[in-house]
Every structure is written in structure tokens, then in C-alpha cells.
Amino acid sequence: MNLSGYVKRRNGVPLGHKDSLRNMLSRSLGAGRFSIFWNYWNPIWGFYLGIFIFKPLKLFLPQALSLIITFVVCGFIHDLAIMMLKLKFSLFLTPWFLFMGLSVVVSEYLKIDYSRFPWIVRSKINIIIILCCLFIANKVRL
């Protein structure tokens, strides 16, 4: 599948459509499982992470470990951009993304599903998970 098809499948509208951001936010925040949140969040970035990081890793590593490493790489790329702007070494987003990746794996393993709740409750749960991961990453400071 190419990028355009991937984005349309995730957002329900073609790449560059005026409702793309609205659909991404609505679908990701309203996801009934934390792993589904990431299926909808930033589909362009997800497309490239899937092709260049996750799928190659999955060839020789277990899927869960491949997913966690993909999250770590994603966080590091974000940190790298910040380091280039600030000209200073800093790893803040890498541990945050590590904990979000761990949350995806653990929530899937435990089969945590909150899809039966209204959209507003699902969105709050997803935001709370993200903020908890941020809090833990800030406390741990890898």
C-alpha cells in the first residue's frame, strides 16, 4: 500500500483533505484501545515508521519488541530534532515514547478495551495514558 492509500484508510479522507486533521484527532482520541490510538495518530509518520523500522525489525524480533523499539526510535528522532535546534544533548522524548510503547504492548497483552464507553470517556482514557507515560518518563529520566 502506498502513502495515499494508507492515509485514506486511517483518516477516512484522502491525503491533504481539509478534514484530515479533524478525523485524525477524532479517531485517535476516540479509540477504544491504546494500540488503536496509534493506528490513527499521525498516519504519515506512522506509514514511514512502519515501513522503515517496524516491518524490518519484525523479520527477526518478536512483534512486541519490534513495536517497543519502533517507539524508542520515534522518540529519539523527535529528540534528535530538538538537539539539532538547541545544539545540546537531551533525551526527553525517547523515554516517554518507550513508556508509551510499553503501554501499548501491556494493554494489548491484558486485552484492555474501553470501546464500549462514550467517545469523551475514551478520549480521556487515552490522554490519561499518554500523560501517565509522560509523568513516569519525567520521574525516571533515563
Instruction: Give residue 142's pLDDT.
Output: 56
Per the structure, the complete domain to which residue 133 belongs is given by 3-140
Predicted TM-score (pTM) of this structure: 0.93
| Distance of alpha carbon 102 from alpha carbon 8, whole angstroms | 28
Q: How far, in Å, are 71, 90, 137 from residue 85 at the CA level?
A: 22, 11, 22
| Distance of alpha carbon 94 from alpha carbon 20, whole angstroms | 27
Tell me what the mean pLDDT of segment 124-128 comes to. Answer: 98
The residue type found at 42 is: N
How many domains does the chain contain in total?
1
37 three-class SS: helix
Q: Could you report the per-residue pLDDT of 17-72, keeping only the tens digit for each?
A: 999 999 999 999 999 999 999 999 999 999 999 999 999 999 999 999 999 999 99
Tell me what the mean pLDDT of segment 126-131 comes to. Answer: 98
Average pLDDT, the chain: 95
Q: Which helix (H) or strand (E) holds 48?
A: helix 43-49
Q: Could you report the per-residue pLDDT of 70-122, keeping only the tens digit for each?
A: 999 999 999 999 999 999 998 999 999 999 999 999 999 999 999 999 999 99
